[in-house]
Amino acid sequence: MAALRGDDASGDVNLNWQFIDDGILSGVNACNMPRAAPSRSAPSGAFDFNSTQPNPWHIREEARPDDSYVPEPPREPELQTQKFASCCDPSLFAYLNMRNVSIGFLHEIDQFMESHPEIASCSTGREMIRLMNNLSPLEAYRYFIKGYTRPARYVDGIVVSGDFRLPVGFRPPSLRSRHDPELDDFFEGFDYRWDIIDRIDREVMFACNEISSGKSVPSGLRRLVCYAAWGNPVDAYKWFEYNYQEEYMAHRYLPEHVVLSDIPKPQDYTLPNPRGVDETRTHMYVRFRMARANDEGVDVLEVLLSEYRSALVKKGFRRKQIDEYCERAKGRLDAERESPTGVDIVNLIMDDMPRTSFSRPTAHRARRFHVWTSASGSTRIRGTRNQAASKFVTPQAAELGRAKRNLEQLYTMEEQAFLTAYMRRPEDIFAISSCRQCAERRYVNALIRYMRDSNQMTAAEATDLQRYFTRQKMEGMGPINKTYLLGMYPRELH
Amino acid code (one letter) for 338: E
What CA–CA distance (Å, rounded) separates 207 from 184? 26
pLDDT of residue 295: 73
Q: Average the pLDDT over 134-147 and give the result.
A: 91
Polymer length of the chain: 494
pLDDT of residue 381: 44
**449 contacts: CB under 8 Å, gap ≥ 6:** 396, 399, 400
The residue among 435 and 318 whose pLDDT is bigger is: 435
pLDDT of residue 475: 65
pLDDT of residue 183: 92
Residue 315 to residues 33, 160, 220, 459, Cα–Cα distance (Å): 89, 18, 17, 12
311, pLDDT greater than 50 = yes
Q: Average the pLDDT over 276-301 and give the result.
A: 72
* Residue 451 belongs to a domain: yes
pLDDT of residue 189: 83
The residue among 26 and 340 whose pLDDT is bigger is: 340
For the CA atoms of 447, 450, 452, 457, the dihedral, rounded to the nearest 10 degrees, stands at -50
Nearest Cα to Cα of residue 386 among 369, 409, 362, 402: 369
Q: What's the chain's average pLDDT?
A: 75
pLDDT of residue 175: 92
Out of 111-115, 294-298, 308-312, least confident range:
294-298
Q: How many domains does the chain have?
A: 1
CB 243 within 8 A of CB 150: yes
pLDDT of residue 4: 43
The residue among 279 and 271 whose pLDDT is bigger is: 271
Its domain, for residue 448, covers 393-493
* Residue 418 belongs to a domain: yes
The residue among 97 and 494 whose pLDDT is bigger is: 97
The most confident of 55-64, 190-199, 425-434, by mean pLDDT: 190-199
Q: What is the pTM of this model?
A: 0.55
Q: Average the pLDDT over 100-113 and give the result.
A: 89
* Residue 6 belongs to a domain: no
CB 379 within 8 A of CB 356: no
* Residue 421 belongs to a domain: yes
* Residue 94 belongs to a domain: no
Q: Average the pLDDT over 91-110 and give the result.
A: 90
The residue among 279 and 471 whose pLDDT is bigger is: 471
Task: State the helix-helix crossing angle for 137-146 and 90-98, rounded to 10 degrees.
Answer: 40
151, pLDDT greater than 80 = yes
pLDDT of residue 36: 47
**329: pLDDT confidence band, cut at 50, 70 and 90?**
confident
Q: How many C-beta neighbours within 10 Å does residue 137 have?
A: 20
The most confident of 21-35, 98-112, 285-299, 334-348, by mean pLDDT: 98-112
pLDDT of residue 75: 57
Q: What is the pLDDT of residues 463-483, one digit of tens each?
A: 877 777 777 766 666 677 777
* Residue 489 belongs to a domain: yes
* Residue 149 belongs to a domain: no
What CA–CA distance (Å, rounded) separates 357 from 318? 11
* Residue 420 belongs to a domain: yes
Nearest Cα to Cα of residue 289 among 488, 455, 484, 463: 484
